[in-house]
Each structure stands twice: as C-alpha cells, then as structure tokens.
Structure 1
Amino acid sequence: MRLVGLDRELSELVELLRTCLDGAGGATVVGGAMGCGKTELLAALKTEAADRGFLVLDAVGSWPERRSPGSVLRQLLRSASAPPGAGTLLDGLRTTGEAAAEETDDLSRPLDAATTDVLHQLCEEVVRASERVPVLLCVDDVQFTDSLSLHWLLHLIRRLRRARVVLALTECPLSRPTHPQLHAALLRQPHYRSLTLGTLSPAGTTALLAAHRGTAPDPGFAERCHQVSGGNPLLVRALLEDSRAGCDPTTVVVGDTFGDTLLSCLHRGRPALLRIARTLAALDGDIHAPRPLARLSGLEPAAVVRGIRALESAGLLDGFRLRHPVAAQAVLEGLSATERSALHREAAALCYADGVAATRTARHLRNCATDEETLPWAVPLLREAAERHLNGNQVAEAHSCLEAALRFGGDDGERVALRALLASTSWMLNPSISTPHLGELAIALGDGRLSVRHTLMLAKYLLWHGRFDEAVRAVASMDDRDACTDPEYAAEVRATRELLSVTYPVVLAPARCEPSYDEPRSRSALALSRVLAQGPDESAVADAEKALRAMRLGKHTQEWLMCAVAALSFGDRLDSAGRWCDHLLEEARARKVPLWAAEFASLRAGIALRQGDLTRARALAETALTQVPADSWGVCIGGPLANLIQAAVDARDFASAAEYVAQPVPDGMFSSRFGLYYLHARGCFHLETGRPYAALDDFTRCGELMQDWGFDQPTLLPWRSSAARAHLALADVRAARALAEEQLALAGTGLSRARGISLRVCAATRQPGARRALLEEAVTNLRHSGDRLQLAGALGQLGREYTAAKDAPRARAVLEESTRLERECGTGAPAPCPGSWAPGFPERDVELGRLSGAERRVVALAAHGRTNREIAGLLTVTVSTVEQHLTKAFRKLGVRTRKELPRTHFPEAAAR
C-alpha cells in the first residue's frame, strides 16, 4: 500500500534497515495521535524488511492485557518464525508469572534472579538468530506493553549496538512518554529515530483522497472531508467509504463507517479517552474548563487535560466539541438509557451552576429522566428556554422544553399554564399534536383555573377541531373574567370574538362591535368582517393595510395578519394581498413554523385563483397540505381542499378534481366559512362534469348559509351566478336570469370582480343582440380587478359576439387576447366562468331554452354520439323526423356539426 504523505518517514526507517544489514542495530519510536498512520507505517516497514530478507517478529499491546505478565513477549517469540529455543524458555518463564501478576507499570521494581535469567536467555536467542538473518522486531501500541515484556525490551536495547536487530515501536502518548525508562534507553542508541506523525493538511487530505479514488477530488468535497475529519487519515478514508454510497459524488456523507471508525480508535486507546469523549459529546461545548469536565467524567483534572490534548492531536475536536454530530452519536451509543440520563442530569446541574444559557442547559434536562431527585430550578429554566426558542423561531425545540417541564412537575397552577403553552406550541407544529392537551385544558377551564389568554387560545383550537359545544362554553366564559378589565386582554377578547364570528358564525353570531382603531388586531378582524358583510369597502381596505403595517409575524399576530390579507383579497385588492401574503409566507417558512407556512400557502392559493393563476394556486394548495397533513386541518380543510378542486376544475383536469372531491371532510366544516369555499368548488366540479342538479344543490346550500350568517356578498363567493349557470344547463333561463340580475344588483355599480362575473352570466341569459354591451362592461370590470381567467372568458364571449356582428378586426383582437390569457392562466380549454357550465359555449345556454321538447331530446342523444338511426329507434320516430329536428336545432344553436353540441347540457341522455 502506498503511504500518502509518509514517504519521508518511511525512507528514514528503511535507512535503519540498511544500517542493520551492515551489522549495526537500530531502533525507532513512531509516535502520534490515534488514526494518524502509525500502524500503516509499521506495516510498510515490515513489508520492506521481509523483501530484504529480514526475520520479522511483531506484537500489539492492548489495554486489557497490560497487566498480563509477558503478553507482548509471547506474541513476539511464539510465532513460527521465532528462534527455535524461545518457546522452551517462554514455558519456563510462565512459572515466574505468578510473582509478577501484581506488578505495576513501575519498571524500577526489581525482578527475581530466575526471571532475569530467562529474559537474558531470550535476548540471546534473538541475538543468535540475527547472526544468521537480520531481525526486525515490531511492537504496535507499546504504551500498553506489560512490565515483564518491557524489562525484556530494555535487555534487548542494551544489545542493539552489536546485533543486526531493528526495534520498531509505535506509541500513542497522551502528553508525555508512557514509559520514560524505555525512552531513556533508546535515546542512548546511536542509530535511533524518533518520528511523530500528525494530522493531514488540507493539501494532504486532497492527496489522500486522490490516491484512493484514482482521480483528483472535487475541491469542495476535499475541503468538507478535511473539516469533518480534522485531517485524521483514518477518518478521511472512512468518509470516502461512506460517500461512495451517496448519489452525489461531490457530497460528503458522514455515516456509519465514520462513526464506527472513530469509536474503534477510542476503544483501542485508554478507557479514559472514551470517557472524556463521551463527556464532551454530552456537553457539546457547554463547558470549557477542565475541573467541571473532570467532575462529570469522574477523572482527575490532569487526566482530563491530557485526554483533551490527545483528542485534539488526533483531529477529533473542534474546540471542546467533537467535530460532527455523528461522532457524538457514536460515542454516546454505548451508554445505556440510564447512564445517558445520569450523564445529562449531571451536565445540566454543572451548566446551571456555571451560568450557561438557559437554552443550552435545557438541552440536557430534555434528555434526562425525571424519576430521580427533583431539581427545583428545572421547570422555570425549561420555561425560559422555551420562550427563548420561540423568540428564535425554533418551535420544535420550544415544544421539547415544555414537554420536559411537564415531566419535571410543578404545582397545579403551573402545570395548567405549561400545558396551555405546550398546546400552543404543538399547534404551530401540527394541530393534531395539540389534541391530547385540549381535554385537560377544558377541565381546567371548567374549574376556573385557565387564564383569559389561554381561554381564547382554547376556544380557537376547539373550533378548529369541530368541538363546537366546548368552544361555546369557552367563549361565554371570557365575558365573566376580571382579567378582561386589562386593556390588552380586552382588546384581544374583542378581536377574537370578531374573528370567530366571521369564521365560525354558527357558533358565535357576528358582534359588529364598535371598532378599536388603535389596536391592529381589532382593526384587521373588523376589516374582514365589514368586507364580508358589506362588500368591498375603501375604509375596510385602508384599515387592513394599516393593520398589516403595524404588526410583524409572531405567535400573537399570525391569525390577525391573515385576517387583514383576506380582507384585501375579498376587497378586490388582489395585487396588494398577493404581495403581503408572499412576504408573510416567506417569513413563516424562514421561522420554520409548519402551520403558519401551511395557512399562508392556502391563503395565497386562494388569491392566485382570484388572479386566474391556476398553476400557482394548485402548487400552493398542495404545499399547504404537505406542510400540514389533511387530517390535521380540522374543519379548516375546506380552505386548501376547495382551492385544489377549483384550480383543477378551471384547468379542466377533472380526474384530479374528482380525487380531491372524494377526500373525506369533517361534518363540522360546513359550520365554518371554509365549508362555503368547499361547497362552491364542489358545485363547480359537479357542473363541469355534467351533474347540474348536484351542482345546484351545492350552490343553493352555500347561498343559504351565507344569508343565514349575514355575509351574503358575491365578493366572497358568487353563488348566485354559479346557480344561474346550473339553471342554464337545465334550460331554465328564467330562473337563471333572476339569479344573475340579483347578484348584479348586490355587486353594486363600482368596478369590481364580482360585477364582472355577474355581467358575464347576465349576458348568457340574454338574446344575442343584447349581450355585447354587458360583455364589454364585464371586460372593463375584470381587467380592473386583475382576474385574468375571468377576463379571458369574457373576452372569448365578446369575440364571438363581434364575430356574429361581422366585426372581424375587433373579434380577432379580443379572441387572440383571450387565447393568450387562457394559456398564461394554465387552463386546458376556453376559459369558463367560475364553475363554468359549458366549456367554450357560454352564449348558447340561453338558446337551449328555445328548443322544443322533441328537439331537445334529439339533440341530447346526438350530443352523446348516437347516430340518426339509433335516435330514431330510441324515440320511436322516423329517421327523417330526426334529421328535421336536428336541422332546426343546429340553426337555433348556431352550430354546424355534432361535435359542436355541448354534451354536459344533457346528462339525462348519457343513461340511454
């Protein structure tokens, strides 16, 4: 094996072999930290010696055998190539072993005469063998050599000047030579080499990687390898092995091989090193002084200092930390759960006494059991750490701290507060996680042990999960609390009631209280309430903007910021709503709060739908359900699910829309505002897929709820125009016209999205000559509102009107713009009205009402692919009669071929 970076050292050792061949013995001690190549260098030397005709004898010292008399000596002289008389002498030496069994590492202790005589004879055997063939005698890890073998080595060293023997030792000292007498004897030898191996430089790491890979590594890969390994050659090779299994050759994988290799290095050394490494892994840089480290590891401070130096020299440490979490995990895995808990408990106590930051101290408390002696300072410290983590956007860590605080106890009042905080933190991660805490908090509420702020929180969580009866009791209790006299709490109660009234109106009727313009939470809730009750309102929009500027995203502002953005969206300020929502979504992602990111993604998806951006709306809605799974959304699942259904329907992807509709939803959803979105989107799906009666049921139910709840405004959902389209699909033009005109009146006279949609539907209920003015006004409104999908549909209708009026230039211009907008929006067919009733043929619905019953029956069957002869057979008429009916119907509908007939208008024919 070619040694990378050790060519000079190997050359020096080979020179000893040459000197030995000339008749003079020599010695070397190769020192250095763990994993730095001592054993490999020794192996290379043995290969060189064997190639030059040397007799090679070798042994390895080990910590468990360091007090076993003669263990290294027997390894050296028991091999098949050892001098023939050595085995008999070793057998004689065994009888002296019992006397040496109690020996220590002190080489000054005298040996008995018989043992000394045997050692001398063994030396003579080696020297006599060297007269026939030169001898290389190697001991790896000489620091673990037993004292009897060391005595023999000292005897041999005194004979090296006149013997063809090379003694090669490797040593991994801590901070001083392990055996001073051995080193003193070696220093007196004329042919002695002392070599010290260190860690690799960045260039050395690159060279080692290139040697093992056969090609020069990526510079970033080499740099990362050097950073993680500290330049330790053994660990560099382990990283290379781990990374071979990775998909990206430029990415360093720190895996099991790295951890196992590091652990094997520590196990090969003194047990104190492993104990120190475990202490450092547990502390992870929290303590930097030897004395507390000694207390935690159970070692003397001096031993800790030496151990840290040894670990540093091996490249394993970065300051007082192991270089990588995998290294820390590897050294701690050998501890039992009880041992690890005890280690972290003691570490927590040391950190607390040393004034370490609460978040760092809490990390140890989170990892220790609580069935031992209580720590009176633990709960307050964990609570402080949780608050600091929340301020630092580390919600998962805060959640873990609060869980630990509950385990450590506290009085009853403190536990209620902790559980409320834990429920709140769980909520931000995933609302389902908070569910187990709600029951206990509800009991505390009934007993009067829950604070006002926590009662507000509990009410919102209960409503989310559809537990309306409990939520009603929580809301009612807020009026009876003395704490409501506090201005801040009173403002929060007022704002919360307003928010709940427009979100769950079946539980809490809209209060329509006097607005508090000095408080941004109340301002945002009231802005949304006014828009839903009165339609787009300049003052409400201004209040929403002002509230957004006054608040920053945080635990106590997130829902109010959503209120303000929703008010802008329903108030036809789509561009402004989109900008604010984009900013808040990015901030929620940066703060790593899954629920916030999911809710803002869903809200932004709704805005994108109103802008006609189907692709983005769908992606955002899917992101929302990825951040928080569908079964954790509670009754609010109607929001993201409605966005997915509507976006798929508008994009003509009915297969995906059907899958979304098939997803189960909680019954409580239809008692919330989110149920309205779902009903309307599902109605659009039914309408587009040829089920106008089912669609009409959904639209009608949506409208009834909106009327009952007091926010029957088309700016929220244009249910009347959608129901009108369902009536048109059923050829009930009169009912369709009545609903369309009613919605147009509600939309008001100003420019708005709702008015543009209403005008489109009104146009579809008029005779061809009466549509043009309505559609031109619809285009103006929709262009102003920013809904490109609705604008594309209105332009398409208008273009067909221009075509019918023989105004080709204008028709061409608007139809080209319509086609371009459709493509930009991501729809796969001509743009429909929301929940369009007949893709590509909006102007023909009124014509269906002009067909006679016989004509309608013939057209229905023809639209579903029946031939004239089949139609005649089904209707029991002649083929000639069928042809006559079709001719008249084609003229009334303005079509020339069967392919132009709208199949979705005739669901009754599909069953024939």
Structure 2
Amino acid sequence: MRLIGRDRELTELTDLLHACARGDGGGVAMIGGAMGCGKTELLTAVKGAARDGGFTVLDAVGSWPERLSPGSVLQQLLRSAGAPGPAAALLDRLRGTCDDVAAGAGDTPLTLDPDTTDVLHGLCAEVLRSAQDAPVLLCVDDVQFTDYLTLHWLFHLIRQLRGARVVLALTECPLSRPAHPQLHAELLRQPRYRSVSLGPLSLTDTTALLAQHRGAPPDPVFAERCHRVSGGNPLLVRALLEDSRQASDPGTVVVGDTYGDTLLSCLHRGRPALLRLARALAALDGDIHAPALLARLTGLEPGTVVRGTRELAAAGFLDGIRLRHPVAAQAVLEGLSAPERATLHRHAALMCYEEGVAATRTARHLRNCDDDGSLTWAVPVLRDAAERHLNGNRVAEAHSCLEAALRLGSDDGERVGLRALLASTAWMLNPSISTPHLGELAIALSDGRLPARHTLMLAKYLLWHGRFDEAVGAVAQLDDTDELSDPGYAAEVRATWKLLSVTYPVVQPPPPLGSTAAGDPRLLGVTALSKVLARGPDDAAVADAESALRAMRLGKHTQEWLMCAVAALSFADRPEAAARWCDHWLEEARARKVPLWAAEFASLRAGIALRQGDLSHARMLSEAALAQVPADSWGVCIGGPLANLVQAATAAGDFGAAAEYVAQPVPEGMYSSRFGLYYLHARGCYHLETGRPYAALDDFSRCGELMTEWGLDQPTLVPWRSSAARAHLALSDLRSARELAHQQLALAGERPSRARGISLRVCAAVAEEGRRGRLLEEAVEILRACGDRFQLAGALGELSDEYGACGQAARGLAALKESERLRRECGVGRPAPVVHGTAGVAEPDGAAFALLSWAERRVVALAAHGRTNREIAGALTVTVSTVEQHLTKAFRKLGIRTRKELPRTYFLGAAAR
C-alpha cells in the first residue's frame, strides 16, 4: 500500500540504501516528527525496500519503561533474525559486565569500564564483518528511549560507517528538542546523514488516505471533518474511519472509542510528562494557557510545558490550547481516579479564581471538585455562574452550579436560599428532580426560615404534586409579610393566586391583597382565562390576553402566565391566534432548552390542535410533551397531555392506542385540577366509542359535577353535557339525552361558537325528523367558521344523511364527499379488525366501517346491543321502515347477514362522531 503524502521522504531514504548497496559507504537517517504522524510506517516501508534490495535488516524499538534497562535495545537488534551468529555470545558476556550501568542514567553519557567497552567494540565488528557479505540496515524506532549502553554502541558504530555497507535508520519523537544531544552531534558529522521530519497530512493528503482505505473518493464534507478532528494525524484519520464504519450514514464522521484509545495510546508511548500535560489541558479546556500556571498545575518545569505543548500541537492533538475533540479529553481523563480528578479540578478552580477567569468557567471546575476547606469563596462564584447560565438558556449547567454551591456551602441560612434556587432550576428540567427538596423547604417555611420570595414557588410545586393543603397554607402566610406593600410584589402574589385558582380550582383566592400594579401583564393574562372559564368567550378577555402576550417575554417568571393567556384565546374560540402564539412560545422554549417549558407548551398546543380537528398533530405534540418530561414527572398535570392523546386516538378510531393511554396510572390529585376535567371527558369518550356507555356516563357526570362545583360550568371548556347526551342516546334514554342537549345549547348562548356548533349537532340527534336539517345546517355554518374540521366533518356526515332521507340526493352526496375529505385531513384512520370475544367470530374488515353513513351507524350501534327494530325507531324517533332500510344497507356494506355478526365494540357510541 502506497504511503500517502510521504513520497519525497521515502525516495530520499531509498536513495541512501542504493548508495550503500553500490559501495559508496554507509549512511544514517533520522526520521523525526510528532506522535502518530507516520514515522514507524515510513520506517517499515524503508525496511521493505531494504529487504527487496538484499539487505540484512536488524530492528528494535525503544520504550519508556525499558530506557533504564542496560542493553535492552541492543539485545533486540542483535538477537533478531539475520543478526551475526557470534553476536549472541558477546551479548551474553555483556550481560555480566553491566549490572551497575542503570544507576548512571542521566543527561550525561556514562563512562564504561574496559570489559564493557571491549564487548561493544566486538559487537560493532561483528556487524561490520556481516556487512561485507550483504549490506545491513539497522533500525531503531523511538530512539529517544534508548538505554545508554545501546547509545554507546551506536556511537561506536556511527564512527565506523564511512567505509561500511551499513545504513542506520532511526525514528525520534522529541519534545521539540533532541532527546540525546550527543547522538545528534555524532550524526551531523556523517557525510551521508539524512534528516527527515514528518508533520500532519494536508487536507489533500487526508482525502487521498481516506480514498485508499475506502476504495473510493470520500465526500468532501466527510474528508474535511476527518481532517479537522484528526488534525491531519494519519493514525487518528484511520481511527475515525474505524469508528465511522458502522454509521448508518456513510457521510457521517463518528468520533468514538477507537479515536480516543488511539490518541491515548500515542500519549502512553511518550514520556509521562506529556500525558500529565495532556490531562491538565483536557481538564482546563482553555481556561488557562500561561506556561507558568500550567507548570504549577502539573508540577512540571515551564520549559517542559512549552515543549510538550508544541509536541501535542505538532501531532495534531490540539486546537489552540484545547484538545481537538471532547472524546479526546474524556479519554485522557479516564485514566485518573475520582479523587485524582477532583484534586485536579480543585487546583484548577483556585487558579481560575485567582486569575480572574469568568465565573462560568471557574464554576465548571468547582462542580467537579471536592472541598478541602480552602474554597470559602466558591458559593458566590457558583451562584453568579448559575445566574449567568440561566440568562444564557443553559438550565442544566445552572442546576449543576447550584448543586455544587449547596454541597460546598456551610451557612444554614444561605443553604435554605440555595435549596430554593436549586429546586426552581431543577423544576425547569424535570419536576421530579425538585421533589427531594420540597420537604426541607416546607420545614424551612414552617420554621420561618424560607424567604417570602420563595414561598410562591414552593406553593406551585406542592400543588403540582397534589399537596393542596400545604400549598394553600404556604401562600396564606404571605398575608403577613411586609413585602406586600410593594405594588409589584403584591401583583405577583395576586397573579399567582389567580393562576392557582384557575389551574387548581380547589384553591380559593384570598381577599384583596392591598394595592397592585395596574396593567401587570401576568394579571391580565390569568384574569382573561378566569373570565372565559367562568362566563364563556368574551371579546374583552381576548383583548386582555393578546395584550398580555405582547407585553411579556418568555422567562421563569412569565412562562405560566403566558400559557394562561394562550389558553384564554383557545377557549374563547380564537384557535388561529392561540395556535400562532403557542407555536411562537414553543419554539422559544425549545431554543432555550428548558424541557418543562417545551413540554407544557407542546401539550397546550396539542389541545389547540384538537379544537381545530387536527388529530394527527395533536397526537404528535402530546407524544413530544411526554418525551420531554416523562409521565411520572407531570404530577397532577398529567391529565393535560394524557387527555389529548386519549381524545385524539379515540376520535381517529385508534382504540388500541387509546386503551394504552387510558391504562396509564394517574394521581388521585389530578381530579382536583382543571386537567382532571379534560381527562375525565376524554376517557368518557373512549368508553362511549368502545361500547361502555355506563362507564362513559359516569365520567361525564363526574366531570359535570366538578365543573359546577368550581364555577367553571362552561361548554367552551368541556362540553360534557353533549357527550353525556350521546351516552344516554346509546342507552335509548331519549328523554335524558334531550334534556342535556337543550341545557348545553342554552349555556352556549346565541353567539356563534364552537360550543354552540357541538350543541346543535346533539340537539339534531335528539330532535324530530323535521327539525334536524335546520339544526345541522346551522351547526355546519358555525363549525366551518370556528375552524374545527373534525366536528364539521361529523356535522356534514349527519346532514348528508338528513338530505338523503328528504330526497335531496345531490346535496347529500356533496355533503358526504366534503365530510369524508375532512375526516381524512383530520387524521381519522380505519379501525383495525378485531375478534369477537365470546363467539370467536372474526368481525368485518375495518375498511367497511368507513362506508357506513352516520345514520346507518346509529342504527347498527343499537342493533348490535340487542335492540329490536321498534326499540331503535323509538330511540331515534324514526319509522320502523327507516330502521329496516338502514340495516339492509349496512349489512350489505359490512358483508354480513345477521345481527350476531355485528361488532359491538366498534359501533357503540358511533353517533358521537
């Protein structure tokens, strides 16, 4: 395989071999260069060329551990294949003459005794004698680690090379200066001395190396990335190729274990000082670069630090004063024990503090160190760093800083405040992380040690976890604080009370808390939601909500109120505006990398998508919310995303998925929150659609009782009466169904709204035949205007049946086509075929269900549950003949012949569509 980027160097060295073979005298070559840059590979190519030219090749490798072992390299050279036979006896004799040589290792060459010198001369003579028969190539890799006994032998040999047929090839990786100055001095005296220095590969050569190994030219972006991460070091380029071999995308550069292990192997082959320096640079990550400070941190001489840094840079390991990739830093630090790493970071933190390095950089070391009593200055630095991280949208880093501050702090009063800040930051990552802190904060509150500014926060967290009594008691204590005299703080307290009361209606708002800041956007937003929930859609509330949204920016003190304002728009029948604002804040939350914010806005946006009839989008957003924050971390608010998933899956006909969502455990406290209303209604719809009308009626009734008790009985929030009416209809209780339908229509009012459109559909379902068409036409008009495509599709389907029954076939067909198109756009899928649980009869293919009209589904739903034709006619207020016609058409579409083959689990509740 051809060497890439080394053609000139290889030619120069093979010329030296050819001259020797011709009898022009011996020569010597020194191949220098940084670690991993191909010195050994070039030496291997030279050895191959020498063997091809008839040379006897003797080789050895120096190593740091054996540098003090006398004659270790010499033993390798002259015991290798092809070495002169008498050399073995001389080496055995040498072993007995140099037991004390190791003690003299140092920068000054040893003075040898006469016997040892005689043996070394004899070994030189044997090599020269052997060269008379065939030229000899002696190779020593990593000569900088050669023991001094071998070094003396090399001196003897070099001085006799002029007339010999011997070539000496050495490789060296010095720390920017010769490891053995006397050896270099001897080499410079030779007329046939060649010095070759290898550096990193260029981008062009890196591309050629990649093509050689892959068998095809690489993608330019892949080549550039490899060159940048490897620094042009050919050994690291090959490591990247190995790491990237299993990547699914062949254009992706994977920086993995092979890369880290290869770099670490290079460092271990060098001097320990180089590894120590690399570890310090990895830990510092650019915080400090002055040689004197690096020397202090590593315990090395400043000159060694300078030379070592140059060597690491020459090898391509450094980008400036940092290791090129985090994998490299991780690899070099993994060799340290936990106490060693903590000590390194503690010393680094102290130096950063003394040198005035930025708080965020100093805190990075404090987060990873232990405390030996010298870090009394650490807590203020960590708090400052946490604040800066929060301002820079780095919540995880802020949380880590506050954890370290709490660990290193010793003052009890200070620790309470730190714990409150830590709980607040942990909350934004995952509410479950903050749970361990709530108990201690509650104790501090009861003892009077918790500052008032943290009490509101504690109350919200306690409510989230369903600890309602403790939360109410916490906020009630604010009545006695002097801070309420501040209008701004009083406004925050009032806004928090309103936020809690609309989210957790079991919390009753307190009497007026003194003067408040007029026009506070948080108050505007939450008051707008409170008005809509209590009185229904309101133009003034919409104006206040939009004003609040324009006035606030996303932050830890505004996020919940922004959600209230968006929810107010949604419940006030402004779905387009609500969606636009929610998309904006969702994008902001994701950009700021705050998981809880992103999850809550995603769940809110899913609810808006449901009100627009976009079932697929609602499911996707709800799944994203639960991916950001796991279900067990949502506390009582799990009802929000879970209700969206149940409702969307049920409406789409995906009952299997809906069943899985319903099976998830929920906290009992959820039913004391507004989110419990959503969940009860969604679960009731699921029960109704899957043949359990009594269970559905229980959920709808409980939902209604809570809404009435809390003063939130508005159909714009949850249309529970419409759903309960359909459950009664499925049970043939037409009187109760009519009563509930008319009640909801009255509550929805005369104003065109989504709630009125839904109410009109149910009123049409329970009305006499002559009135249904007019009610459905008004429902279609209203639902088209309010933007709920799913409800509109259902109303059009029902209107199509009504037109058909009245002999208006053309109008019925047009309505049916539009209904089916809207259903497809909403994401309504075909229900999967199931097997009847008792008879074991396979039910009709789910594709057939989509062919049934709405009227046919209502009739079949009741027939599937044993109703006679006369009972069905009475329940639906139609003639027996109409029932018989619907059943005949339905049986034909489903491919069945008897009522026993009807699938109960699918049809019951179909009228709810």
Of stretches 821-830 and 206-215 in structure 1, the one that deviates more from structure 2 is 821-830
Distance 2:881 2:225 in 1: 74
The answer as to whether partners of 1:37 and 1:234 remain within 8 angstroms in 2 is yes
Q: Does structure 2 retain, via aligned residues, the 8 Å contact 1:25–1:160?
A: yes
- 2:359 — aligned with what? 358
Give the whole-Å Cα distance in 1 for the aligned partners of 2:795 and 2:809. 17
Q: Does the 8 Å contact 1:134/1:164 carry over to 2?
A: yes
Which secondary structure does the structure 2 equivalent of 1:183 belong to? helix
Displacement after TM superposition at 1:712 (Å) = 0.8
Aligned to 2:528: 527
Give 2:659's aligned residue: 658
Which amino acid is the alignment partner of residue 226 of structure 1?
Answer: H
Question: Is residue 429 of structure 1 aligned with residue 429 of structure 2?
Answer: yes
Letter in 2 for 1:415: R
Which amino acid in the other structure matches residue 194 of structure 2?
R
Residue 582 of structure 1: SS of its match in structure 2? helix
Measured in 1, the distance between the counterparts of 2:51 and 2:852 equals 90
Can you give the 5+ residue segments of structure 1 that lack an aligned partner in the other structure? 831-837, 849-858, 876-881
SS at match of 1:162: coil
Match of 2:411 in 1: 411
After superposition, give the CA deviation of every residue in 1:574-628 in whole Å (9 maximum; x if it has no partner): 0000011111111111111111111111101110010011111111111111111
CA contact (8 A) 2:295 2:302 kept: yes
Correspondence for 2:503: 503
Q: What pairs with 1:53-92 in structure 2 (closer than 5 Å)?
A: 53-92=54-93
1:124 equivalenced with 2:146 (yes/no) = no
Aligned partner of 1:233 in structure 2 is 234
Tell me how far 1:119 sits from its aligned partner: 2.2
C-alpha displacement of 1:538: 0.6
Rounded to whole Å, the distance in 2 between the matches of 1:819 and 1:649 is: 17
CA–CA separation in structure 1 for the residues paired with 2:691 and 2:35: 76
Q: Does residue 1:160 correspond to 2:151, yes or no?
A: no
The farther-off stretch of 67-76 and 49-58 is 67-76
- State the shift of 1:366 in Å: 0.9
Q: Report the aligned-residue RMSD.
A: 2.6
Query: What is the distance in 1 between the residues matched to 2:796 and 2:823?
Result: 10
What is the one-letter code of the residue matched to 1:443? I
Aligned 8 A contact 1:829 1:839 in 2: no
Partners of 1:905 and 1:57 lie apart in 2 by: 85
Question: Is contact 2:175-2:311 (8 Å) kept?
Answer: yes
Given the superposition, is the C-alpha separation of residues 416 and 860 from structure 1 closer, same or farther in structure 2, using an over 3 Å criterion? closer
3-state SS, counterpart of residue 27 of structure 1: strand
Cα distance in structure 2, aligned partners of 1:498 and 1:117 = 100
In the alignment, structure 1 residue 897 sits paired with structure 2 residue 899? no
Corresponding position of 1:479: 479
Matched residue type, 2:78: L
CA distance in 2 between counterparts of 1:713 and 1:774 reads: 21
1:210-225 paired onto structure 2 within 5 Å: 210-225=211-226
SS across alignment from 2:57: strand
| CA offsets 1:230-288 (integer angstroms, 9 cap, x no match) | 00011111111111122221111111111111111111111111011000000011112
- How far apart, CA to CA, are the structure 1 residues paired with 2:396 and 2:907? 55
Residue 782 of structure 2 is aligned to residue 781 of structure 1: yes
**Which digits, 9 at most, give the CA deviation of each residue in 1:526-551, with x for residues without a partner?**
01000001110111110000000111
Measure the CA separation in 2 of the matches of 1:404 and 1:800. Answer: 68
Separation of aligned partners in 2, 1:403 and 1:495: 30
Structure 2 equivalent of residue 580 of structure 1: 581
Q: 1:220 to 1:279 in 2, by over 3 A?
A: same
* 8 Å contact kept, 2:389–2:398: yes
Counterpart of 1:895 in 2: which secondary structure? Answer: helix
Task: After TM superposition, give the deviation of residue 769 of structure 1 in Å.
Answer: 0.7
Whether contact under 8 Å (1:105, 1:146) holds in the other structure is no
CA distance in 1, matches of 2:343, 2:687: 63
Which stretch of structure 1 is more off in the superposition, 143-152 or 31-40?
143-152
Q: Deviation per CA, 1:627-657, whole angstroms, max 9, x where unpaired?
A: 1111111111111111111111111222221
Indicate whether 1:598 and 2:599 are aligned.
yes
Partner of 1:447: 447
| Aligned-partner SS, 1:897 | helix
Matched, 1:713 2:704: no
Tell me how far apart the structure 2 counterparts of residues 840 and 760 of structure 1 sit (CA, whole Å). Answer: 18
1:413-812 matches, within 5 Å, as: 413-509=413-509, 517-812=518-813
Please say if 1:9 is aligned against 2:9.
yes
d(CA) in 1 for partners of 2:138, 2:906: 98
**Greater shift in the superposed pair: 572-581 or 794-803:** 794-803
SS at 1:288 equivalent: coil
Amino acid paired to 2:648: A
SS where residue 886 of structure 2 aligns? coil
What is the CA–CA distance in structure 2 between the aligned matches of 1:704 and 1:248, rounded to whole Å?
56
Give the conservation status (yes or no) of the 8 Å contact 1:498–1:510: no
TM-score, normalising length from structure 2? 0.92
CA shift, 1:893, in A, is 6.8
1:195 counterpart SS class: strand
Deviates more, 1:79-88 or 1:13-22: 79-88
Q: Is the 8 A contact 1:430 1:595 kept in 2?
A: yes
Secondary structure of 1:102 counterpart: helix
Q: Which amino acid aligns with 1:184?
A: A
Aligned counterparts of 1:188 and 1:208: Cα–Cα separation in 2: 37
Provide the C-alpha distance between the structure 2 equivalents of 1:827 and 1:106, rounded to a whole number of angstroms. 83
Q: Deviations over 1:728-765 (max 9, x none)?
A: 22222222222212211111211111111111111222
Contact persistence 2:852–2:890 (CA under 8 A): no
1:48 aligns to 2:49 (yes or no): yes
> Any idea what SS the aligned residue of 2:82 has?
coil
Shift of the 768–502 alpha-carbon distance from structure 1 to 2, 3 Å rule, reads: same
Match of 1:345 in 2: 346
The equivalent residue for 1:878 is none
Task: Report the equivalent of 1:252.
Answer: 253
The yes-or-no answer on 1:385 pairing with 2:367 is: no
Write the distance in 1 (CA, Å) between the matches of 2:325 and 2:703. 57
Residues 599, 446 of structure 1: CA spacing in aligned structure 2 closer, same or farther, 3 A cutoff? same
Q: Is the 8 A contact 1:107 1:151 kept in 2?
A: no
- 1:64, distance to aligned residue in structure 2 (A): 1.9
Q: Deviations over 1:358-383 (max 9, x none)?
A: 1111111111123x224011111111
Who is 2:311 aligned against? 310
Q: 1:842 to 1:174 in 2, by over 3 A?
A: same
**Residue in 2 aligned with 1:376?**
376
- Cα drift, residue 122 of structure 1: 2.0
Q: Secondary structure at the match of 1:281?
A: helix
Distance 1:208 1:798 in 2: 71
Return the offset for 1:325. Answer: 0.9
Q: TM (normalized to structure 1)?
A: 0.92
In structure 2, the CA distance between the partners of 1:677 and 1:483, relative to structure 1 (3 Å rule), is: same
Shift of 1:813: 2.8
Alignment map for 1:86-165 (pairs within 5 Å): 86-107=87-108, 110-165=111-166
String of CA shifts for 1:385-426, please: whole Å, max 9, x gaps.
111111111111111111111110231121111111111111
Moved more, 188-197 or 899-908: 899-908
The answer (yes or no) to whether the contact 1:635–1:669 under 8 Å persists in 2 is yes
Q: Which amino acid aligns with 1:501?
A: S
Cα deviation for residue 107 of structure 1 reads 4.6
Write the letter of the residue equivalent to 2:477. Answer: S
CA distance in structure 2 between the aligned counterparts of 1:772 and 1:583, rounded to whole angstroms: 41
Q: One-letter code of the match for 1:382? A: L
- CA distance 1:732–1:904, change in 2 (3 Å): farther
Task: Go from structure 1 to structure 2 and tell me whether the alpha carbon gap of 1:42 and 1:865 turns closer, same or farther (over 3 Å shift).
Answer: farther
8 Å Cα contact 1:501-1:510 kept in structure 2 = no
Cα distance, 1:17 vs structure 2: 1.3
* Farther off after superposition, 212-221 or 899-908: 899-908
Structure 2 contact 862–908 (Cα < 8 Å) conserved: no
